[in-house]
């Protein structure tokens, strides 16, 4: 028996035009994912309206109530119904969707919220009376007069009551409230001149103030620093470096933390494009690349960075939530972030974060009770005469030693105490140098510090002399897809700088002719495929450089002075002076601090002398 022709059916699906309510609910699903999404859309509207003060209130994590009040330009009574119509906006005329100067421009937020909740819009424009309109489940009421101060208040109740299935995907009230707080903090970072007040009114009345950031004054960097201190924390502001760079019409400003002020997850990375908070793989990859030589893989940098360019050079109309962007020149934006951050980190010199000292002071414990059995230790003052070798003897094959000064520094004071890392006074446990500064003391991990110095010397030599390449007796031929081969060959010049020479060997094949000598015998195909994966993900690869610098780091580790090595005073001082002259010497090759500075006032507080 012949099967029926699937192309012929008496029950052919019928094409229908969805009604306006269904269309709005579908659009709301794209724009409003959770209460925090609604808050973001409403607050961005307030910012676009020129508000100087924005108050946000929520109840039950925003599920039962979201209220946003601003003192912006307001909406005329006759325009209120139009404000609730889909694709109605005052921010663009539709002629150029790539020239966007405002947060909102799609005209979807208010109608989408009105389609899935009970929304009341009350507004008063200057010189006009106040008016109000209500919409529930897509149905709007007539406009009616309302009292109120100039500005706009949007009250959204019972979010997703019209689409109850969405409520099942909501998280706990606490989790949704935290998402709202995070959203407000990100918006507050980008607008330091605006006052933001966030309240939880679940229990009624004025509620509990969750977050407040008053408008900041001063120039760009002073205002931004103060706002970031309020949002991220004073520790971040104290340990962050100002970033200010411009390249070919794209500017980068903000603050990036020292490597020793890092996190165990990428939870404190705030990236903005033309004032809009975004989550973009290109930008987060650039941030990671800027720090990859200073942090281990399990540590993540902390930064708040603001990229600004002409709106026509970046497409923000990629997704309804507008959290993704697409750059016309992605390589330029990425390169600006990497170079600007690396320059700032180099300018920081040997500086380490102040939180290291705070943690050290917090770790101090009282002297153990008398009578406990402890192994006696021999300290510097009890040792016999100095050893004859210099402290760089163990690393003589790596670079030339620094010759310590011939004179013996007088005790107890010396000019070296005016130096940033002070004058060496002792070595304890054969690994830690104690130096005296004019305002306190410095504790140095001799192995970690010297390891970083050797590593920086090796990197400098590599940059000056290049990476030696070893020619393969028989070139390794690797078959790739046509696009992969083309993508790899576009980076051939950069790869050759690090000793990896690749050439075309057919339409979809490449030949590896040389590999970096420092890596020894390697699996060239595996390396090539790792590089391709990173290029596809980030637009550029750090894989080869990372492998080479990992080898240099191991060489530096083996070539540096070891724990247990006794040092003379002139050797210790020579180490301190080179640390002061070497960028990045404040952290070891794994991002840990190489020294801790304790102020005399803090030490005196430990002994109750304040």
Helices (H), 429-481: 446-465
- In this structure, what are the phi and psi dihedrals at residue 473, rounded to the nearest 5 degrees? -60, -40
Q: Kindly state whether residues 202 and 225 are assigned to the same domain.
A: no
Q: Kindly state whether residues 196 and 242 are assigned to the same domain.
A: no
Q: Kindly state whether residues 176 and 323 are assigned to the same domain.
A: no
Q: Kindly state whether residues 417 and 565 are assigned to the same domain.
A: yes
- Residue 329's CB: how many other CB atoms inside 10 A? 15
Does residue 384 belong to any structural domain of this protein? no
Does residue 455 belong to any structural domain of this protein? yes
- Residue 214 DSSP code: P
Query: What is the rounded average pLDDT of the residues 4-11?
Result: 59
pLDDT of residue 392 exceeding 70, the answer is no
Q: Kindly state whether residues 327 and 405 are assigned to the same domain.
A: no
pLDDT of residue 164 exceeding 60, the answer is yes
For residue 305, the domain's CATH number is: 3.30.230.10
Q: Kindly state whether residues 275 and 137 are assigned to the same domain.
A: no
pLDDT of residue 606 exceeding 90, the answer is no
What integer pLDDT is reported at residue 1 of this predicted model?
Answer: 52
Does residue 158 belong to any structural domain of this protein? yes
At 35, the pLDDT band (50, 70, 90 cuts) reads very high
What integer pLDDT is reported at residue 102 of this predicted model?
Answer: 63
Omega before 412 within 30 of 0, i.e. cis: yes
Q: Kindly state whether residues 184 and 204 are assigned to the same domain.
A: yes
Range with the poorest average pLDDT among 120-124, 264-268, 332-336, 516-520: 516-520
Does residue 447 belong to any structural domain of this protein? yes
What integer pLDDT is reported at residue 241 of this predicted model?
Answer: 93
Range with the poorest average pLDDT among 85-94, 167-176, 506-515, 593-602: 85-94
Q: Which of 197, 213, 229 is the last residue of a domain?
A: 213
Does residue 559 belong to any structural domain of this protein? yes
Q: Kindly state whether residues 324 and 429 are assigned to the same domain.
A: no
Annotate 536-594 with DSSP letters as a single string: HHHSS--HHHHHHHHHHHHHHHHHSPPTT----HHHHHHHHHHHHHSTTTTB-TTS-BS
pLDDT of residue 163 exceeding 60, the answer is yes
Q: Kindly state whether residues 404 and 539 are assigned to the same domain.
A: yes
pLDDT of residue 384 exceeding 80, the answer is no
Q: Kindly state whether residues 253 and 139 are assigned to the same domain.
A: no
Q: What is the mean pLDDT of the chain?
A: 81
* Contact between residue 387 and residue 566 where contact means Cβ atoms under 8 Å apart: yes
Does residue 377 belong to any structural domain of this protein? no
What integer pLDDT is reported at residue 144 of this predicted model?
Answer: 92
186-204 tens-digit pLDDT: 999 999 999 999 999 998 8
Q: Which of 318, 347, 376 is the last residue of a domain?
A: 347
pLDDT of residue 259 exceeding 50, the answer is yes
pLDDT of residue 180 exceeding 70, the answer is yes
Query: What is the rounded average pLDDT of the residues 303-318?
Result: 86
| 3-state SS assignment for residue 278 | strand
What integer pLDDT is reported at residue 90 of this predicted model?
Answer: 56
At 17, the pLDDT band (50, 70, 90 cuts) reads confident
At 24, the pLDDT band (50, 70, 90 cuts) reads low
As a whole-number percent, the residues of the chain with pLDDT over 90 amount to 32
Range with the poorest average pLDDT among 190-194, 449-453, 540-544, 579-583: 540-544
Q: Which of 294, 312, 347 is the last residue of a domain?
A: 347
Query: What is the rounded average pLDDT of the residues 414-419?
Result: 75
What integer pLDDT is reported at residue 381 of this predicted model?
Answer: 45
At 6, the pLDDT band (50, 70, 90 cuts) reads low
Q: Kindly state whether residues 430 and 570 are assigned to the same domain.
A: yes
pLDDT of residue 567 exceeding 60, the answer is yes
For residue 504, the domain's CATH number is: 3.30.1370.100
Nearest to 437 by CA among 257, 595, 239, 258: 595
What integer pLDDT is reported at residue 328 of this predicted model?
Answer: 86
Is 409 or 495 the better-scoring residue by pLDDT? 495
At 560, the pLDDT band (50, 70, 90 cuts) reads confident
Report how far residue 56's alpha carbon sits from residue 31's, in angstroms, rounded to the nearest whole number.
19
At 25, the pLDDT band (50, 70, 90 cuts) reads low
Query: What is the rounded average pLDDT of the residues 295-299?
Result: 80
Identify the residue whose tokens are 């309804």: 320
Does residue 11 belong to any structural domain of this protein? no
The residue length of the chain stands at 610
429-447 tens-digit pLDDT: 889 999 999 999 999 999 9
The number of distinct structural domains making up the chain is: 3
Report how far residue 303's alpha carbon sits from residue 263's, in angstroms, rounded to the nearest whole number.
11
Is 225 or 372 the better-scoring residue by pLDDT? 225
Residue range(s) defining the domain that contains residue 550: 390-610
Q: Kindly state whether residues 240 and 188 are assigned to the same domain.
A: no
Does residue 47 belong to any structural domain of this protein? yes
* Contact between residue 543 and residue 550 where contact means Cβ atoms under 8 Å apart: no
């Amino acid at each position: 028996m012949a099967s029926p022709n699937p192309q012929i059916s008496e029950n052919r699906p019928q094409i229908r035009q969805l009604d306006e309510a269904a269309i709005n609910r579908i659009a709301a699903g794209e724009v409003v994912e959770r209460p925090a999404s609604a808050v973001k859309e409403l607050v961005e509207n307030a910012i676009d309206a020129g508000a100087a003060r924005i108050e946000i209130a929520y109840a039950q994590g925003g599920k039962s109530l979201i209220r946003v009040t601003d003192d912006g330009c307001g909406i005329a009574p006759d325009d209120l119904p139009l404000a609730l119509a889909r694709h109605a906006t005052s921010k663009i005329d539709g002629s150029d969707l790539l020239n966007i100067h405002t947060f909102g421009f799609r005209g979807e937020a208010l109608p989408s919220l009105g389609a899935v909740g009970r929304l009341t819009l009350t507004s008063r424009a200057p010189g006009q009376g106040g008016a109000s309109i209500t919409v529930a489940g897509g149905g709007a009421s007539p406009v009616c007069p309302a009292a109120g101060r100039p500005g706009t208040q949007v009250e959204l109740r019972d979010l997703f009551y019209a689409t109850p299935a969405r409520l099942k995907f909501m998280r706990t009230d606490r989790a949704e409230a935290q998402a709202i707080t995070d959203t407000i903090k990100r918006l507050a970072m980008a607008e330091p001149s605006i006052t933001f007040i966030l309240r939880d009114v679940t229990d009624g009345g004025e509620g509990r103030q969750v977050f407040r950031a008053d408008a900041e004054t001063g120039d760009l960097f002073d205002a931004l620093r103060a706002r970031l201190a309020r949002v991220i924390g004073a520790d971040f502001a104290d340990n962050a470096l100002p970033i200010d760079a411009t390249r070919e019409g794209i500017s980068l400003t903000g603050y990036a933390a020292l490597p020793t002020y890092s996190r165990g997850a990428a939870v404190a990375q705030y990236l903005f494009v033309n004032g809009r908070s975004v989550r973009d793989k290109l930008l987060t990859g650039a941030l990671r690349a800027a720090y990859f030589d200073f942090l281990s893989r399990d540590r993540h940098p902390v930064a708040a960075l603001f990229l600004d360019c002409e709106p026509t050079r970046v497409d923000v109309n990629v997704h309804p939530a507008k959290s993704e962007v697409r750059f016309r020149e992605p390589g330029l934006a990425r390169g600006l972030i990497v170079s600007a951050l690396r320059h700032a980190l180099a300018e920081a010199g040997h500086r380490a974060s102040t939180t290291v000292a705070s943690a050290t002071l917090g770790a101090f414990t009282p002297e153990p009770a008398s009578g406990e059995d402890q192994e006696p230790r021999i300290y510097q003052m009890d040792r016999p005469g100095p050893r004859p070798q210099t402290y760089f003897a163990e690393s003589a094959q790596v670079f030339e030693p620094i010759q310590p000064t011939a004179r013996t520094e007088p005790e107890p004071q010396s000019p070296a105490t005016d130096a940033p890392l002070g004058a060496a006074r002792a070595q304890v446990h054969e690994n830690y140098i104690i130096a005296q500064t004019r305002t306190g003391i410095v504790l140095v991990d001799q192995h970690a510090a010297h390891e970083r110095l050797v590593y920086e010397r090796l990197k400098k030599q590599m940059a000056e002399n290049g990476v030696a390449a070893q020619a393969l007796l028989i070139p390794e031929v690797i078959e790739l897809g046509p696009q992969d081969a083309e993508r790899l060959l576009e980076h051939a010049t950069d790869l050759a700088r690090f000793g990896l020479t690749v050439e075309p060997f057919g339409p979809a094949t490449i030949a590896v002719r040389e590999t970096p000598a420092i890596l020894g015998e390697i699996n060239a195909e595996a390396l090539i495929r790792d590089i391709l994966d990173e290029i596809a993900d980030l637009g550029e690869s750090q894989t080869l450089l990372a492998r080479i610098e990992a080898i240099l780091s191991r060489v530096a580790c083996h070539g540096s002075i070891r724990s247990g090595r006794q040092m003379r005073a002139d050797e210790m001082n020579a180490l301190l002076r080179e640390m002061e002259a070497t960028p990045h010497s404040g952290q070891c090759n794994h991002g840990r601090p190489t020294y801790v500075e304790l102020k005399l006032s803090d030490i005196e507080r430990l002994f109750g002398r304040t």
